[in-house]
Amino acid sequence: MNIKEISQTVIGRLPRYYRYLGELQKSGIERISSGALSKKMNVTASQIRQDLNNFGGFGQQGYGYNVAYLRSEIGKILGLDTEHNMIVMGAGNLGQALAKYSSFERSSFFVRGIFDNDPKHQGRTVRGIPVMMMDELEGFLSNNQIDIAALTIPKEAVSEVVERLVKNGVKAFLNFALVDLELPKDVIVENVHMSDSLMRLSYNMIQRKEN
Amino acid sequence: MNIKEISQTVIGRLPRYYRYLGELQKSGIERISSGALSKKMNVTASQIRQDLNNFGGFGQQGYGYNVAYLRSEIGKILGLDTEHNMIVMGAGNLGQALAKYSSFERSSFFVRGIFDNDPKHQGRTVRGIPVMMMDELEGFLSNNQIDIAALTIPKEAVSEVVERLVKNGVKAFLNFALVDLELPKDVIVENVHMSDSLMRLSYNMIQRKEN
């Protein structure tokens, strides 16, 4: 399957397909037409067909999509058929929220450790996940295959922490800090900038009032 | 200024300009060329000129941009020159993290209250912000002009809560719940779906390995 040329916009829609198909599966629905799926997801049927054709189709003309099969194929494309081990940098409210967030595990993302430099967190666990101190980081990384680090630390601390993580093999970041990471080419990042989301909301509020 | 036709992609980049210009201002830089700004932001200078031309320019050929002026104009476009009052639904870790998140206030977003239905939170405050029970919601909304509600509640509770909020005048949502909201046309939403971000990260990790 050649999926090298798929745009990030299409990729961005796949998690939503995956989520909807999971809900259909839970409701016992085995087969769905692109028309019915489009109604449920509030996108056009032709958009759905186009998106899924990027990956070779999956549907049979007139028969609709096999829900379980389509979901599992999209899961494979998204890499959800293998476990991903994560650590969370920062044991504050956001870090704890991430460690407790059960939706991650349903998609094969497992938080294996939380790191902080505040001794008040030492020895704590969050939902069974240990909070460790920063001087334990390198040791932990050499004993555990960690794919992803979520960054919930203050932006002033980010560049030093990221350098230590990259040096010890972490190649992917979920970045909540309000700073753009400077990273080697083989390291990837997804930013979750909540203030940016609020600003887009605010912009769209003005447009709504003006129209 | 006619800004009706600007694509959401351009809008999506404005918060980042706003952030960078704020940092330049803090470092005492008064004027910057699109070339220097582009180097700092890791986008092309022509992209920057194109983006800002959407709003009528701001730059003078050969003189670069006035940092403070450009930032303040982008702030106005994003609606950051007026205060936005927010409430946070859900007093769990994520809700508390949002209430404590000081970057919001720097962009004129103020959390005025937190709501939960768990009596254990009754009477608490988070950084001075009161946690109230759900039966106080309508009273609070009739006495306070609230623009935005952040949703950090379980997805099963979302539709009922959103209905109560919309009925009482809340017209914008920052949605962390893993569910697509069904909303009247004049209500807007920004989704912050952290599992979707992780899935995009996972997809891009596979691509990186294959290339």
Residue B108 near residue B84, CB atoms below 8 Å: yes
Interchain proximity A195–B100, CB inside 8 Å: no
**pTM of structure:** 0.89
- Taking the alpha carbons of B191, B196, B200, B201 in that order, is the dihedral positive or negative? positive
- In angstroms, what CA-CA distances link B37 with A167, A171, B29, B33, B49? 29, 28, 11, 6, 10
For B54-77, give one letter per residue: b (16+ CB within 10 A) or e.
bbeeebeeeebbbbeebbbbbbeb
The distance of A96 to chain B (nearest Cα, Å) reads 6
Average confidence (pLDDT) over B58-84? 85
What tens digit of pLDDT does each residue of A47-57 get? 888 888 776 65
pLDDT band (50, 70, 90) for residue B103? confident
Query: How many Cβ atoms sit within 10 Å of the Cβ of residue A209?
Result: 10
Residue A38 CB-half CA count within 13 A:
14
Q: Which residue of B has its CA nearest to A10?
A: B200
Is it the case that residue B60 has pLDDT exceeding 80? no
Alpha helices in chain B (DSSP H): 8-26, 34-41, 45-53, 67-77, 93-100, 102-106, 137-143, 155-167, 194-210
Q: Measured between CB atoms, which of B42, B94, B202 is closest to A78?
A: B202
Q: Which amino acid is at A16?
A: R
ipTM: 0.88
Q: From CA B18, how far away is CA A179, in angstroms rounded?
A: 12
Q: Measured between CB atoms, which of A93, A199, A208 is closest to B78?
A: A199
Interchain proximity B206–A178, CB inside 8 Å: no
What tens digit of pLDDT does each residue of A160-196 get? 999 999 999 999 999 999 888 888 989 999 999 999 9
Higher pLDDT among residues A211 and A197, named by residue: A197
Q: From CA B115, how far away is CA A63, in angstroms rounded?
A: 47
Q: Measured between CB atoms, which of B16, B97, B172 is closest to A196?
A: B16
Q: What is the pLDDT of residue B91?
A: 97
Is B133 in a helix, a strand, or coil? strand
The distance of A60 to chain B (nearest Cα, Å) reads 26
Structure tokens at B188: 């807007």
What tens digit of pLDDT does each residue of A34-80 get? 888 888 888 888 888 888 877 665 666 667 888 998 899 899 989 99
Higher pLDDT among residues B2 and B184, named by residue: B184
Q: What is the pLDDT of residue B1?
A: 46
Interchain proximity A199–B4, CB inside 8 Å: no
Interchain proximity B15–A199, CB inside 8 Å: yes
Is A99 in a helix, a strand, or coil? helix
The distance of A24 to chain B (nearest Cα, Å) reads 13
Q: From CA B178, how far away is CA B154, in angstroms rounded?
A: 8
Interchain proximity B12–A147, CB inside 8 Å: no
